[in-house]
Amino acid sequence: MVSSNPFASLCLSSLLLTLVLCVNGVSTSSHNDTKIGEGYRLVSIAETHDGGLVGFLQVNQKTSIYGSDISLLRFYAKHETNDRLRVHITDANKQRWEVPYNLLPREQPPALAQTIGRSRKNKDPITVSEYSGSELLFTYTSDPFSFKVKRKSNGETLFDTSSDASDPFSSLVFKDQYLEISTKLPKDASLYGLGENTQPHGIKLYPSDPYTLYTTDISAINLNADLYGSHPVYMDLRNAGGKASAHAVLLLNSNGMDVFYKGTSLTYKIIGGVFDFYFFSGPSPLNVVDQYTQLIGRPAPMPYWAFGFHQCRWGYHNLSVIEDVVDSYKKAQIPLDVIWNDDDHMDGKKDFTLNQGNYPRPKLLKFLEKIHSIGMKYIVINDPGIAVNTSYGVYQRGLANDVFIKYDGEPFLAQVWPGAVNFPDFLNPKTVSWWVDEIRRFHELVPIDGLWIDMNEVSNFCSGKCKIPEGKQCPTGTGPGWICCLDCKNITKTRWDDPPYKINASGIQAPIGFKTIATSAVHYNGVLEYDAHSLFGFAESIATHKGLLGIEGKRPFILSRSTFVGSGKYVAHWTGDNQGTWENLRYSISTMLNFGIFGVPMVGSDICGFYPQPTEELCNRWIEVGAFYPFSRDHANYYSPRQELYQWESVAESSRNALGIRYRILPYLYTLNYEAHVSGAPIARPLFFSFPTYTECYGLSTQFLLGSSLMISPVLEQGKTEVKALFPPGSWYSLLDLTSAITSKDGIYITLDAPLHVVNVHLYQNTILPMQQGGLISKDARMTPFSLVITFPEGATDGEAKGNLFLDEDELPEMTLGNGYSTYVDFHATVKQGTVKVWSEVQEGKFALDKGWYIESVSVLGLDGRGALSSLEIDGKPLSGVSDVKVSVSEHVHLDGHEKGEKKTVMVALKGLNISIGKNFAVNWKMG
């Protein structure tokens, strides 16, 4: 749902300009190159009982810019695993705000009280020293204090806080409300991450673009601005002499920050908290995400149906509209698994309520019974603002349990869709219990299948300290609902509301309390909103996950707009309020790929754009991209014309084609879901994940991979019926025509035909792709026969291919093997001296056997085409002449400039196999 006038957000800068002019303090730009502090010197160093290092840092000389420096700091370094190093720097004398350890569980550094006694020992520390782990090396210099993190295997410096004349920057700065630290970078480093923002230049971080991290409700159409989530992590990919290595750096801090990337250096400027750095050694991009999610939490397992297609719209005014949408999708033969409601189902836009006039409960229950019986699902929205209304049970129970964020001892008053609201304090255990109970109560009223938690940055239509106006209705019930109608006054009396350093909030240095909770408001245990602001959506996600998990013991599905480090353990994400423009279609790919790096692999953008109405051509092309988002949903604004996929016949045709592919590869997507859950591996990936040494793809943001091997090359420009696509070295096969092949030794650009209803999808060599026959609902598609597509390098005389398949009872909370309700299959294939072998290794086969799943066909691509196929055996038995198995051989067509007379390559297809997936099998034959 949009939270402000969608068209006005384009003019956000001008709307806020007058506010910015009134803000006191020094701007981010004016002191960008000014020396803010004089640095620190190391005054003591010692080993800790847990194998770490602890040292104390004395300020060299205090300065007054942005406040006074903290005199004594404690730094703590520890190799927490073989591939993870932590460096933690804080005030040595008192506890400072950190991301709560109960929200994001991790090791705690030694208590200050245990180490402060050592602060004055060892007056003459070693000038340079080393602290070595398995793969990372930590070194420090004492005065001014700086540190480096190196990779031991190749000697690369990954992080270096020492300044020099070539790229001068401030030494370490640590004040109460201003922290600064920088690192040098090599010019050829490719950086990714630091979100959430809409990056116009693609997935690679772009020098001099602003990167501000602070959860903010402004439309995703705003470029280079802090959006709904905060992820202060980046991946650094380097290539030295043809050898690639990746690492990542996380600064675990929830306070607002600006990050300045110059190309040869990166500087953090943060308005609170501590320096809590984690370094992940990689060396491959997949290793990095594995190590990162090992710390922050593995991505949540998603139910199978969540990989089906979803339809939503703000403005489904009554139940009959929803019923018509479902019927129309079926009539148009377009797959649909999930129907959504924005706030239209609510009574007066109040959470956990039902509008009995437009959505009468008996009729709604009957509708849900009907769609549930065929495997479809129903999800509704939920906003955190709880309407201030004495006749509203949710509010009454919240008030009785004291669950709301406070200001001046009273629940902080704000305005969102229902009018005056209070916001739950999800840092309070009592709030979590109340929220879980409200979810349970609502589920008894309406048996929903998931929750969509929106507006949780948190969004507020007003700013400052407000009260409900006397003698006028608020909201009026007419006109836009996002106009503030409370009586409000600015809050600037504290340093929390008006900090000395102004981050580039909303892209224009907006006050940090603008259109959100006042930053001097107070959470449970006295925690300030100033510190906890960016954690709101994350904390709400955890509470919502707990609530849904407790209802029926099913695997929760939650979609959250605001995210933080670790959110992927609980929720999926969509990229917020986008526009129906070609630019926004392109941006959606970069944002999706970023969230895979952030450990939130279940991600997608509003297909066809949230507003305004897309053109028919754009909607065709958007579904051809959106069909391959991990989370695939069409969603439109209240004020936009209808844009369901069946509204245009041309879009319906493109949808049948693109979603037809999606529903056939659902077994592959679901297996990627399992891989994400056990190792963090993104579902949608940049090409460099599979081709880290191929520098040509480092900045590629117009194509992407699903898993390691399936490449999507969509049309992203108006009027185009072909697409120039990059094919990294090796052999690629079109999923639309398995006989169509592209092979290159060093990588190649190919211009592909792409008529309006066609999206190009290619499968890489050495892969075994499990597919099914598709359907209109994932429940039905799931029970169709399987096929295996096996790819070898073209004409390979010695090749090996692999694939895997995870199957389970997809609504059980745990996604794991060994529970009696799951099966895992490794598929293998080799070609050697003319003999082709295909076989499987099955773990926990009973579940698949009980379901009756079987493989109907196997297609092997890229085989040397000389001679005929012979000696076909299945499980050691020769193929009988009366068998139902049909064998066909088809020659490949080459799109990469192969000359006539070059060696012929073929596809061999076996059909009618009827091989059980739950048992090991082996198929082999000879070529020629």
Nearest to 211 by CA among 13, 504, 458, 457: 504
* Bond from prior residue into 641 cis (ω within 30 degrees of 0): no
**Angle between helix 285-296 and helix 666-679 axes, rounded to 10 deg:** 60
- φ/ψ region of 472 (left if φ > 0, alpha if ψ in -120 to 50, else beta) reads beta
Contact of 280 with 250, CB cutoff 8 Å: yes
In this structure, are strands 767-771 and 760-764 parallel, antiparallel, or unpaired?
unpaired
Q: How far is Cα 884 from Cα 887, in angstroms, rounded to an integer? A: 10
CA distance 497 to 519: 5
Q: Which residue has the tokens 């922050």?
A: 296
- Asked whether 356 and 348 are in contact (CB, 8 A), the reply is no
CB within 8 Å of 391: residues ≥ 6 apart:
none
Length of the chain counted residue by residue:
928
Residue 606 among the catalytic residues: no
Euclidean distance between CA atoms 740 and 488, whole angstroms:
65
Helices (H) and strands (E) in the chain, counts: 15, 53
For 509, counting Cβ atoms within 10 Å of its Cβ (0-12 exposed, 13-18 middle, 19+ buried), the class is: buried
Dist CA 586 CA 715 (whole Å): 10
Q: Are 304 and 338 in contact (CB under 8 A)?
A: no
Alpha helices (runs of H) in 715-812, residue ranges in sequence order: 778-781
* Angle in degrees, CA 473, 479, 483, rounded to 5: 70
Verify whether residue 454 is a known catalytic residue: yes
Backbone conformation region of residue 839, classed left if phi is above 0, alpha if psi is from -120 to 50, else beta: beta
Active-site residue identified among 290, 342, 457, 540:
457
Say if residues 543 and 107 touch (Cβ distance below 8 Å): no
The per-residue DSSP string of 811-846 comes to: TSS---SSSSSEEEEEEEEEEETTEEEEEEEEESTH
Degrees, nearest 5: CA angle 229-531-385: 60
- The three-state DSSP-derived secondary structure of 290-341 is HHHHHHHCCCCCCCHHHHCEEECCCCCCCHHHHHHHHHHHHHCCCCCCEEEE
- CA dist 491 and 480 (Å) reads 25
Looking only at the bridges linking them, the beta strands covering 710-713 and 722-727 are unpaired
Pick the catalytic residue from 196, 258, 454, 844: 454
Verify cis geometry, omega within 30 degrees of 0, for the bond prior to 196: yes
Query: Counting beta carbons within 10 angstroms of the beta carbon of residue 918, is it exposed (0 to 12), middle (13 to 18) or buried (19 or more)?
Result: buried
d(CA 506, CA 204): 21
**Would you say 437 and 543 are in contact if contact means Cβ atoms under 8 Å apart?**
no
| Secondary structure in 3-state letters for 399-427 | HHCCCECEECCEECCEEECCEEEECECCC
Catalytic pick from 383, 577, 617, 675? 577
The CA distance from 306 to 200, in Å, is: 29
Please list the residues that pair with 514 across neighbouring strands: none
CA–CA dist 208, 258 (Å, integer): 12
Report the candidate in 128, 140, 162, 172 with the shortest Cα–Cα distance to residue 39.
Answer: 172
Q: Is 402 a catalytic residue?
A: no
Q: 149 in helix, strand or coil?
A: strand
Active site amino acids: 454, 457, 577
